[in-house]
Amino acid sequence: MKTSRLIKTALIILFGLIFWNYFSGISSVPFHPDESTQIFMSSDAATNPINLAYEPSQVLDNRTRYRLIDSPITRLLIGWGLVLLGEKNNPADWNWAASWDENVSAGALPSDSALQTARLSVAWLFPFSCLFLFLLAKKLSGTPIAVLTAILFSTNALVLIHTRRAMAESALICTFCALVWILVDDKKTVWISSLAAGLAINSKQTTFPVVFIGFLTTYLLPLNTNLWKKIARAGLFLILILVISGLLNPVFWKHPLDAIREGTAQRADLSSRMREDYRTSMDFFEQTIFLVAHTFIQPPAIADVLNYQDETLEAERNYLREPFNNLFRGFAGGSIMLFLTIAGWIIFVKQAAAKIYVERIRLLIFTAITIASIFSLMMFTAAPFQRYYIILVPLFSISQATALLFLGSAAVDGIKKWVTWKGNP
């Protein structure tokens, strides 16, 4: 009993320190111009929704274009946060074709207080991301692996930089972890699954493959359900996602079909231009290198492009000077984490054969989600930006924790056998 209390106390202290480090380091994260765009668009949260609707007869401005192609949750959270704390958004969007000074003069650079407020407006989701991931790992493999998973995830350098910014990644990771946890739970209901899926896809479209897996599991499981119930469940799942998306996206309220057509065209044009600019292809070998490099090896990406490297250089050096912000990055550290990830999946596969039916189904769903996420990143990523690969971090953290616990247990058993052998010559 005393040992259990000591462990719980130690974990509370550990996660207290992790959360303190996370929130105290928010202001030290170098500015990213996309934060300016999110803060610029956050005025939607204080605008009459009907005024945000797409009008085919009007010239397409930047605000409407963003509403058509981007998920709304991050800008809404930032908008509510700014209103709550009495901060103003920047009146102009960031212009990537202009210089830093020109953007500052135009009013595109948010004030320090507005930037800090905007970041806190999404960063508060971080503890919930850790909680949902803990519950997911516990459902899959038990409490010890869940604790290790939460530690690995919450100290991951990519998580620390990309979810601290006033960008989509914080809401993305939180809703993504919640959705995966709910999907592997055999006691889930259609209502809670569709709610999680609706929030996830409206945090970032990257979650679409996982939402599709959710649709399949809603239709297929449980296996003994008759066909009409399966169809009804899957239909309800889709309808509820559409309702949630409709409520969160007033841009589609007046002329939904016209808005969908324009949004699809704008998204396709953006993807085409990004592929051309960054010369990305669907070559499997190239995409594998991008995935491994961004997920395991390269340092936290201060910028996606180097337009303003000189202006952010000092902040970049100060941020990366902190060892905790760059933990296990580089070839050596990244190779270790890659090895643990692969080893963990091998252990997963071997353990699955010994598990009961329900547990095997959970592992199957989790594996399908992981494969779908990897495939979509490799085949449909228009530009190899590091932050796009962040959804793999919680998934890989579970396999890394599995490998660590397995290797740790093997080491302890080996030491015990050696001690026994030494004591009985």
How confident is the model over 124-171, as pLDDT tens digits?
A: 999 999 999 999 999 998 999 999 999 999 999 999 999 999 999 999
Count of the separate structural domains present in the chain: 1
On whether residue 38 sits in a domain, the answer given is: no
Structure tokens at 290: 């991008």
DSSP for 322-349 reads SGGGGTT-HHHHHHHHHHHHHHHHHHHH
Q: 286-293 contacts: CB < 8 A, separation 24 or more?
A: 287/377, 287/378, 287/379, 287/381, 288/378, 290/378, 290/381, 290/384, 290/389, 291/374, 291/377, 291/378, 291/389, 291/392, 292/334, 292/338
Report the C-alpha gap between 324 and 333 in whole angstroms.
13
Report the C-alpha gap between 304 and 229 in whole angstroms.
47
Find all residues with CB under 8 Å of 204, minimum gap 6, and list them: 71, 168, 169, 171, 172
List the Cα angle 181/380/386 in 5-degree steps: 70
- Structural domain harbouring 363: 125-423
Report the C-alpha gap between 95 and 98 in whole angstroms.
5
On whether residue 40 sits in a domain, the answer given is: no
pTM, rounded to two decimals? 0.94
pLDDT given for residue 355 in this prediction? 73
Nearest residue to 296 (alpha-carbon basis) of 343, 333, 324, 334: 334
On whether residue 108 sits in a domain, the answer given is: no
Three-class secondary structure of residue 47 per DSSP = coil
pLDDT at 424 over 80: no
Q: What is the mean pLDDT of residues 202-210?
A: 94
On whether residue 223 sits in a domain, the answer given is: yes
Peptide bond into 209 cis (omega under 30): no
pLDDT at 98 over 80: yes
Beta carbons of 369 and 315 less than 8 angstroms apart: no
Report the C-alpha gap between 299 and 19 in whole angstroms.
21
Q: How many CA atoms lie within 13 A of 12 on its CB side?
A: 6
Q: What is the mean pLDDT of residues 46-59?
A: 94
The per-residue pLDDT of the chain, averaged, comes to 91
Q: Which of 122-126, 275-279, 367-371 has the lowest mean pLDDT?
A: 275-279
Structure tokens at 217: 């599991």
pLDDT given for residue 281 in this prediction? 75
Report the C-alpha gap between 191 and 197 in whole angstroms.
10
pLDDT given for residue 344 in this prediction? 93
Beta carbons of 394 and 162 less than 8 angstroms apart: no
Beta carbons of 145 and 401 less than 8 angstroms apart: yes
Confidence of residue 2 (pLDDT cuts 50, 70, 90): low
On whether residue 247 sits in a domain, the answer given is: yes
Buried b (16+ CB within 10 A) or exposed e, 264-302: eebeeeebeeeeeeeebeeeeeebeebbbebbbbbbbbb
On whether residue 143 sits in a domain, the answer given is: yes
The sign of the torsion formed by the CA atoms of 66, 70, 72, 78 equals negative
Q: How many CA atoms lie within 13 A of 365 on its CB side?
A: 28
Residue with tokens 């204080």: 46
Residue with tokens 């202006």: 311
Confidence of residue 413 (pLDDT cuts 50, 70, 90): confident
With a pLDDT cut of 70, the percent of the chain lying above it is: 98
Nearest residue to 60 (alpha-carbon basis) of 205, 266, 264: 266
Residue 224 vs residue 173, higher pLDDT: 173
DSSP 304: S
- Give the CA radius of gyration of the chain: 23
Instruction: Report CA-CA distances (Å) from 102 to 33, 62, 92, 277.
Output: 13, 18, 11, 23
On whether residue 374 sits in a domain, the answer given is: yes
On whether residue 317 sits in a domain, the answer given is: yes
DSSP 300: P
The sign of the torsion formed by the CA atoms of 400, 402, 407, 409 equals positive
